[in-house]
Amino acid sequence: MAETTGLRGKLHQSWGWLLALGVVLILFGFLILSTPMGVVTASLTTEMWIAAALVAAGVLQLMHGIRASDWSHASWQMFGGIASIVGGILIFLYPTFGLVSLTMIIAATLVAQGVTSLMIGGGVGDAGSRRWLILSAVISIVAGLLILFDLPSSAGWTLGTIVGAALLLQGVSLTLLALDVRRATA
């Protein structure tokens, strides 16, 4: 309990910064979602960051494999690094292919999560909880299938929409946290 009180005190000291960050994230999320080019730009930017992360991780993995040459699995480490570098470079060179691939993964994940939620929903005893779980599952499955059936055109907006929505929701949660901390300790 003392740790929570100490954390609340620290958050209270910087509630203004939390509020400012929340408002900025809300603005950027809204900007991305409200401008068609914002969604496309966010999709491409997200894809480029993923490609850069793949290349950087691949270089580090390759270097680790080279430095650990006496390790029996070093060749697998180097192979994994090379695969990551090649994947990142391919995304940089062929951004449309990268967007389509990432969008397919997201859509398939939505469908898979929806199916598993449906299965879990069957085992939940409480009818009220089950209803919300099943509704969430159906929405997830339908969203995933709509994205899959709209490929490749859905690739241009899917990642950007997810990024915009995530920024908007994170901004709202930080803003509410800042106001709650300010109000609770005032």
Domain that holds residue 87: 2-185
Q: Show the tokens assigned to 173.
A: 């949660």
The reply to whether omega before 95 is within 30° of 0 (cis) is no
Q: What is the pLDDT of residue 56?
A: 94
Of 163, 173, 129, whose CA–CA distance to 29 is shortest? 163
Q: Total domain count for the chain?
A: 1
Please state the rounded mean pLDDT for residues 77-84.
88
Q: How many CB atoms lie within 10 A of CB 9?
A: 11
Helices (H), 68-151: 74-93, 95-123, 127-149
C-alpha to C-alpha distance for 150 and 152, rounded to whole angstroms: 6
Phi then psi for residue 72, to 5 deg, are: -65, -25
Of 183, 176, 175, whose CA–CA distance to 25 is shortest? 175
Q: How confident is the model at residue 1 (pLDDT cuts 50, 70, 90)?
A: very low
Please state the rounded mean pLDDT for residues 154-181.
86
Q: How many CB atoms lie within 10 A of CB 156?
A: 18
C-alpha to C-alpha distance for 186 and 87, rounded to whole angstroms: 52
C-alpha to C-alpha distance for 54 and 42, rounded to whole angstroms: 18
| pLDDT tens readout for residues 91-116 | 889 888 888 888 888 889 889 988 88
Percent of the chain with pLDDT over 90: 12
| pLDDT tens readout for residues 19-69 | 898 899 999 988 888 887 888 888 888 888 888 999 999 999 899 888 877
User: In whole numbers, what is the pLDDT of the chain averaged over residues?
Assistant: 83
pLDDT higher for 128 or 26?
A: 26
